[in-house]
Amino acid sequence: MSLSRIAKSIGESATLRLNRTAAELRRRGEAVIHLGGGEPRSQAPAEAVLSASDLLRTREVRYAPPDGTPVLKDAIADYTEEFYERPTSPDDVIAAGGAKQALMVCLQAILDPGDEVVYPAPYWVSYPEMVRLVGGVGIPVIPAAGGFVPSLADIERAVGESCKAVILNSPNNPSGAVYPDEVISDVVQFCERRGLWLIMDDIYHRLIFDGLTAASCWKYARDRSSGSRLVIINGVSKQYAMTGFRIGWAVGNRTLIGAMTNIQSHQSSGPSTLSQAAAVGALRGGRASVDRLRLELETSRNVLVDGLLRVAGVRLAPPHGTFYCFPDFRAHGSDSVKLAAYLLDRAKVVTVPGVEFGFEGHLRLSFCGPEDEIREGIERIRWAVDPTAPREITIGGRTIARDGA
């Protein structure tokens, strides 16, 4: 079969592949614990469900405009003004089938073949493939000082003549790192000076712990004109636990939003009106559900971190946001793919190899599941890799010794 060069160059999403693997193992009756997932266990807000139900009862679920329904665009504009203090018109907004689609359409609107996009590592697994899909070249940046937070110097060194855009994701998936205000300020102003697009992937911006808050990129923007190249990507999936509704958005200058609307109109058209109605309910429903989820996640974060600190050889920078942790397991093996496979086979714990995020030797662990599963998952990992842990463990009702069956 003849496939395009782009199709042949794109790999499967590692996280979606692992979700499928975990589901298959559970169907077979395996006692699998999934610490690789990216879905909060909370229910969608009642306001979202009621809003969708109201539309269903009309039996009038029709096509949406390609950039989203006016009522959702109004709600997104108000949300942007509330959390970013950015004066926002509905004309500055496009709603899409998830934040991923919003980002994808944005890249299609701004990149030509060969254009480069710079993003700090560790990075979300889809950035390299999304850039490649539009013929661009992804340039990952590993912080020179170590850790998970880039400096302006790191970004500057990576930006060459072919660079068209920078992507920042804070709080960061997979590390949970929250970039300081100084980093956001420096990069915003650097991109303005260089005429670069700056895409802020802010999908986790309200899931932050320890009394911290996310820096508002707009606060540091000096270019407030209609030609601003600052783009904000967000959505309801993470903060409102509405992953299955698939509603995200982009906020940017009207020329960009118009181009994105034209592209989306020929790809998928507007997202489901039913999902958009649910998103309006969530955005207009107040902060209670997000605050509740954030507190639950902070407690779960503490459980995960406390458990990992008991695993000999594991190095850890506690996450301050998202629902991920990105510990360094190099003391137990430098090949993260092999280590993740070993943990799945031996301990029946799903993790995500760090190499998928541009950081070899690390594993991404999620703490958005039930606390009892988090505790047991970490105990299984400890049993599998830490020689000081108890020799025997019970998994799925079967007692197993570390050095035998």
Q: Alpha-carbon distance 367 to 48, whole Å? A: 24
Burial 242-270 (b: 16+ CB within 10 A, else e): bbebbbbbbbbbeebbebbbebbeeeeeb
Angle in degrees, CA 145, 14, 397, rounded to 5: 105
Which pLDDT belongs to residue 404? Answer: 56
> Per-residue pLDDT for the chain (405 aa), expressed as one digit of tens each?
788 888 888 877 777 777 788 788 888 888 999 998 888 989 999 999 999 999 999 999 999 999 999 999 999 999 999 999 999 999 999 999 999 999 999 999 999 999 999 999 999 999 999 999 999 999 999 999 899 999 999 999 999 999 999 999 999 999 999 999 999 999 999 999 999 999 999 999 999 999 999 999 999 999 999 999 999 999 999 999 999 999 999 999 999 999 999 999 999 999 999 999 999 999 999 899 999 999 999 999 999 999 999 999 999 999 999 999 999 999 999 999 999 999 998 999 999 999 999 999 999 999 999 999 999 999 999 999 999 999 999 998 899 998 754
Q: Alpha-carbon distance 403 to 405, whole Å? A: 7
Sequence spans of domains, the chain = 5-43+288-401, 46-284
For tokens 């570390």, the residue is: 402
Which DSSP string corresponds to 300-325? HHHHHHHHHTTSTT-B----SBTTEE
Other beta carbons within 10 Å of 31: 14
Q: Which of 249, 256, 187 is nearest to 227 (CA)?
A: 256
Cα 171 from chain centroid (whole Å): 9
Q: Which of 297, 289, 294 is nearest to 371 (CA)?
A: 297
Which pLDDT belongs to residue 11? Answer: 78
Q: Determine contact, residues 202/234, Cβ cutoff 8 Å.
A: yes
Both tokens assigned to 353: 């190899």
Write down the CATH number for the domain with range 46-284.
Answer: 3.40.640.10
The fourth-level CATH superfamily of domain 5-43+288-401 is: Aspartate Aminotransferase, domain 1 (3.90.1150.10)
Q: Distance between terminal CA atoms of the chain?
A: 45
Longest dimension (CA), the chain: 67
